[in-house]
Amino acid sequence: MADQADKTSQQHETLVVRHVAIVMDGNGRWAKKRKLPRHAGHKAGVNAVRRTVEACVELGIRTLTLFAFSSENWGRPREEIQKLMALFVEALNKQVPELNEQGVRLTIIGDREQLPADLVRQIEESEAMTADNDRLNLVVAVAYGGRWDIVNACKCLARQVADGELSVEDLDESHLTAQMQLAGLGDPDLFIRTGGASRISNFLLWNLAYTELYFSESLWPDFEQKELEAMVGSFHERERRYGKTSEQVSGDHA
């Protein structure tokens, strides 16, 4: 029994949450419950982002990837989209200096060709300001879709093959991973979706292959550090087998 307990303990020691990915769902419903316009919910969501960034720094998490605006969100009412774009610019102006002081590096992923020019300029300036920081990688997905990410990566590889830089026979998963938007940051260990829905909504389809999934009933503006801490604690109790048997996993750490 003692030997088995030691094996379990050693296994849990290897389960470190380095990368958390979050679908921040529920802003609109949060506002509706309070008889406020949807935009008020999005503004409240910015405060939840700030709390979550601070919590990740405190917990020693290295990368936090947030789904802020999807490829499909372009189908929302025009007025809401315009307000969201303006909110992104406002949030960058207000929050990036604070992120920089905290040692947070900001990276925006997604199809920038779809974004307003003023937002793209603000993104580039914000990324440059925080480029040397290494306390936390904050990745925000804007105009992003998991299918778009995969297709875009395939196009990059197709160009390399066409240019003679790479042969079709040599292509493997590592080549595609290197062209994905999260290249160099590692796959998420822990995925969280707030708002009560149990789906990933076209987010990081390639990268979530072996990620542990958690679905929260909390609306995003209500998401608190204690809930993140509970999910991280639960993660440590899980067994990540990557296709192996439990006996093999235990043996790996014996």
Read off the CATH number of the domain in which 242 is found: 3.40.1180.10
**Residue 238 placed within a domain:** yes
Residues 116-165 have pLDDT tens digits of 999 999 999 999 999 999 999 999 999 999 999 999 999 999 999 999 99
Please say whether the beta carbons of 140 and 196 come within 8 A. Answer: no
**Residue 3 placed within a domain:** no
Please say whether the beta carbons of 249 and 241 come within 8 A. Answer: yes
Residues 172-185 have pLDDT tens digits of 999 999 999 999 99
In the chain, count of helices (H) and strands (E)? 9, 6
**Residue 226 placed within a domain:** yes
> Catalytic: 27?
no
Supply the range of the domain harboring residue 70: 18-143+183-252
3-state secondary structure of 192: strand
Catalytic residue among 6, 25, 93, 149: 25
Question: Is the pLDDT confidence value at 246 over 50?
Answer: yes
Q: 239 falls in which pLDDT band (50, 70, 90)?
A: low
**Residue 148 placed within a domain:** no
Compute the mean pLDDT over every residue in the chain, rounded to the nearest whole number: 90
Q: What is the pLDDT of residue 4?
A: 41
Q: What is the pLDDT of residue 82?
A: 93
> Catalytic: 172?
no
**Residue 195 placed within a domain:** yes
Q: How long a stretch of residues is the chain?
A: 254
The total number of structural domains in the chain stands at 1
**Residue 108 placed within a domain:** yes
Residues 80-101 have pLDDT tens digits of 999 999 999 999 999 999 999 9
Catalytic residue among 3, 73, 118, 149: 73
